Every structure is written in structure tokens, then in C-alpha cells.
Amino acid sequence: MSLKAFAAKLFAKNIVRKTTKWADNPIRTQQKVFEHLITKAKETQFGKDHDFSAIKTFADFAKKVPVRDYEALKGYVENIIAGQDDVLWPEKPIYFAKTSGTTSGAKYIPITKESIKHQVEASRNAILNYIHETGNADFVNGKMIFLQGSPILEEKGGIKLGRLSGISAHYVPNYLQKNRLPSWETNCIEDWETKVEKVVEETENENMTVIAGIPSWVQMYFEKLNTKSGKKVGELFRNFQLFIYGGVNYEPYRAKFENLIGRKVDSIELFPASEGFFAYQDSQKELGMLLLLNSGIFYEFIKADEFFDEDVKRLTIADVELKVDYVLIISTDAGLWAYNIGDTIQFISLKPYKIIVSGRIKHFISAFGEHVIAKEVEEALKIAVSNTDALVNEFTVAPQTSPEDGELPYHEWFIEFERPPSEISKFSECIEQSMLQQNSYYLDLIEGNILQPLKITQIKLGGFQDYMKSIGKLGGQNKVQRLSNDRKVADGLAKFQI
């Protein structure tokens, strides 16, 4: 065992001990975070506007600080851009993370010196936790890659601005700098296709042990490696041991990945966002991600099926139940207050608090009251793939509310197959039966002849990448939208159909 691997094991043991300490005291841990946030922000513009000096309890906070999205926060962000100090958090943020907004155009999410510290620690701790659980630390001697956005930063109001993954590239620890690929110059390439070609060139002859990124774009990298070398990724990188991912559910990609790699590798799921790092997978033996309760974030939860009601109940960690979809609301040491990040989660364990991401509160299908969420369609596709000979690259689902010839409406599944099923009807039936079992609203609509069974529209090979390129969202942190309640994505895919 190398000195670096030995040191990693010792460090991992210490970090897991600290993690266990706060995870065993979740309510007290969150209370301490809450008190720190309120005390620290009392004298900010936001704190004065919302009477933080009078807030003693969560009930006080819920009365004085409404749940908000970026539109409601935008005025404060514009004050920061205009040069004001102490707006949302003491002093100024050190970065803005730029994300794509649907109603606001670009969104500028503040990142402070406190919040970036927690982002970096969470990424590190996820790997250390894996080392402690498995005893596997040999990979620290090999090369590691994270397929990410450009680290070149712009400025907005005197504050550095970039994509979160590009900002994070500036915080790779010194002891990993020699292991890191691709080169800084390649990381700075903006065009995704050019960048991936260069990444392949720089990595194909290296001892790659860890590869990380959003699954859809790592898949593109693997495909190009396979094409250029004529070898499976696992054969090319014999010591490749660990895949780290976040942003989307890995399950729809798993079969294709294992085919491209040629064998199974361990994986770690992360739940990072520009607004904070919320959870990471803490076990190779159990499902779910450990919710990070000691990382400068105070969490609230609103039941997803009540979210759009007038008088919703805001819950804390002490009030949540298993297997209920909650909208995740956060207050952070970056100055986000009762902020709706748009994701829905489910708790699958309360000792410790472990979650899965179930979807987006804005990404669902309920054109007829069916309330279909991402978790359901992803599970249905996983079952269909496991029960047929199909391999799927990518997919999305949209309602067809006005079919031709007077037929009943239906859900249209747009699927790009790497290998189409030999029996498309069996594949479709597997999906349909899973949806009927998972979603009682969908079952009622099918049985009541309001909807007809789903239909599959095949997209040509590479069609989803072509579509993402056509809307300027190829690569980086961009993800294909799993569900739409309208036909915008469906119409965009029309020219890529088989």
C-alpha cells in the first residue's frame, strides 16, 4: 500500500467519526445550524427586512420569511451586483454561480467563502466515506477526471462568475493536482464536442482510476474512447474502479455503462447544486444519500402534492415521513432564505436521514391529473430494460393531448436506443405495467378510458445530443429534461425521430 493510500485511510476514519457524531444527533445539529444562520445574518439587508432580530424559533422564521424562488430573490441579487455589501449574507459573495433560468433568464446564485468550503468538503467526504467503508484506497494513486464546465471565470459587479463545476475546478486539493486530468487548457475549451475529443486524446493512455461527471456526458466520453481504441473502457483503463456522478438518476444509464465498460465498477451518487451540496451516497450496500445536516444549510420540507395550495405546512427534519415526496426548501450560509431549489426528494431512512431525488416540482406530467414524476418513469424504464434485450441511451416523456383521428390522448415516450428491443411491444408493455403499478392516478385514467396506453417514438442514434446542441445545451452541467407537461421538448425532438 502506498503512503498516499495509507494516509487516505487514516483521514477517512477521522471524517467518518465526525460525520457519525452529527448524524446521530440530527435535530440538535439542524437547530445549531438554524441559530447560526439567523445570528450571522441579523444585520444584513435581508435580515433587517425580515426582522431577524425577533426570530427565536422556526415558527417565527416561517411567519416572517416566505418561501421564495429566484424571481423573489432577484432584487437582492441585483443590489449585490450594484456593489452593496451585507445584502443576503455579511460582506459580499466571492462568486456567482451562473445557471439557466426558465422565467428569469440567467440566474446568479451567490457563493460565499463559507458555502464553497462546505461544497469542497462534501465532495471530499463522499470519497473518504467510500474508502472507509470498502477499504479500497488504491485508486488515489491513479489518474482522476471530472468532466466539467470551463474554469474560466467572468465578472459580474466585481464578483467572479462561472458555472459551479468551473468554480469547483479551482479547489482541487494540492495533493490531487498531479492526479488530475484533463489539463487546465483542455478544461477551458468551451465547445463540448471539441473538448471531449481532446479529453479522449489526453486520457486514453493514462492509468485512469476515477471518472466523474453527469452520466449522459460521461457516456459520450466512453463512446468516443470505445470508437477510437476499439476496446471496452474497462479494458483500456484496467484500474478504473470508481464512477462518481450527480445531476440525474444513474439507473437509466447503468446497463449501457456496464456494456461500454465491459464490467461493473463501484459508483458514488452526489447531490450538489449551485445552491449547496445537499447529500452523498454513504453506502455501497444500501440505497440513498446521507442528507448533510451540518454543512451550513437549514432544511425545510413541503409535501409535493400540497405545494401549490394556499396555506402549506412547512416541516423541519423532525417532522418528515418515509416515502413521501417533499419539495426541498433551503436557507444557507450563502444567503439563500427559505429558497425553493425546485427538486423533490423522498426519505428512505430516518436513522440516519437518507434521501433519494424523486424529481423536479416543475417537471412532471399532469395534463389529466395523473401526477407522474421522474422517479416513476425512470423506474419503469429500468424494469423494461432489465426484462428485454434493449439498451437505452436517453429518453424523455410528454403528454399528447390532441392526437389525430380522434383517438384518446396518451403519454408519448421519446427513446433513443443503442440497441432496440427485438420486441418493441413487449418493451412498451413492461413500461406500461410498471406505470400502472406505481401511479394510481394513471391507472384510473387508463381504466376510465381517459387515456390510452403509452406510445414510443424512437429517436435516431445521437439524436438527443443533436437536440441539446440545437438549443445550446450540449455538455457541461446541462441535462435532458425527463418530463414535460407540454410539448416544447417533444416538438424540438421532432426532426430527430426515426
CATH code of the domain covering residue 272: 3.40.50.12780
Regarding whether 336 and 455 lie in a shared domain, the answer is no
Q: Rounded CA gap, 80 and 66, in Å?
A: 21
Q: Let me know: does 203 contact 158? Beta carbons within 8 Å.
A: no
The last residue of a domain, from among 334, 361, 388: 361
Regarding whether 179 and 64 lie in a shared domain, the answer is yes
392 secondary structure, DSSP code: E
Regarding whether 129 and 275 lie in a shared domain, the answer is yes
CATH of the domain at 421: 3.30.300
DSSP 3-state of 424: helix
Q: Is residue 55 part of a domain?
A: yes
Q: Can you tell me the mean pLDDT for 389-396? A: 94
Q: Which three cell numbers stand for residue 239?
A: 484500474
Q: Rounded CA gap, 126 and 248, in Å?
A: 17
**Residue 295: what are its φ and ψ, rounded to 5°?**
-125, 35
Q: Is residue 489 part of a domain?
A: yes
Q: Can you tell me the mean pLDDT for 136-164? A: 90
Q: Please report the pLDDT score of residue 93 as a whole number.
A: 97
Q: Rounded CA gap, 319 and 382, in Å?
A: 32
The last residue of a domain, from among 361, 386, 416: 361
Range of the domain at 405: 374-496
Regarding whether 411 and 314 lie in a shared domain, the answer is no
Q: Does the pLDDT at position 252 exceed 80? A: no
Regarding whether 268 and 150 lie in a shared domain, the answer is yes
Q: Rounded CA gap, 498 and 491, in Å?
A: 14
Q: Does the pLDDT at position 195 exceed 70? A: yes
The tally of domains found in the chain comes to 2
Query: What pTM does this model have?
Result: 0.82
Regarding whether 444 and 306 lie in a shared domain, the answer is no
Q: Is residue 227 part of a domain?
A: yes
Regarding whether 244 and 145 lie in a shared domain, the answer is yes
Q: Please report the pLDDT score of residue 103 as a whole number.
A: 42
Q: Is residue 53 part of a domain?
A: yes
Regarding whether 423 and 342 lie in a shared domain, the answer is no
DSSP 3-state of 89: coil
Regarding whether 333 and 392 lie in a shared domain, the answer is no
Q: Is residue 442 part of a domain?
A: yes
Q: Is residue 168 part of a domain?
A: yes
Regarding whether 243 and 116 lie in a shared domain, the answer is yes
Q: Let me know: does 108 contact 81? Beta carbons within 8 Å.
A: yes
Regarding whether 129 and 239 lie in a shared domain, the answer is yes
The last residue of a domain, from among 308, 328, 361: 361
Q: Does the pLDDT at position 133 exceed 90? A: yes
Q: Is residue 262 part of a domain?
A: yes
Regarding whether 46 and 166 lie in a shared domain, the answer is yes
Q: What are the tens digits of pLDDT across the range 284-305?
A: 999 899 999 999 999 999 998 8
Q: What are the tens digits of pLDDT across the range 5-61?
A: 899 999 999 999 999 999 999 999 999 999 999 999 999 999 999 999 999 999 999
Q: Is residue 369 part of a domain?
A: no
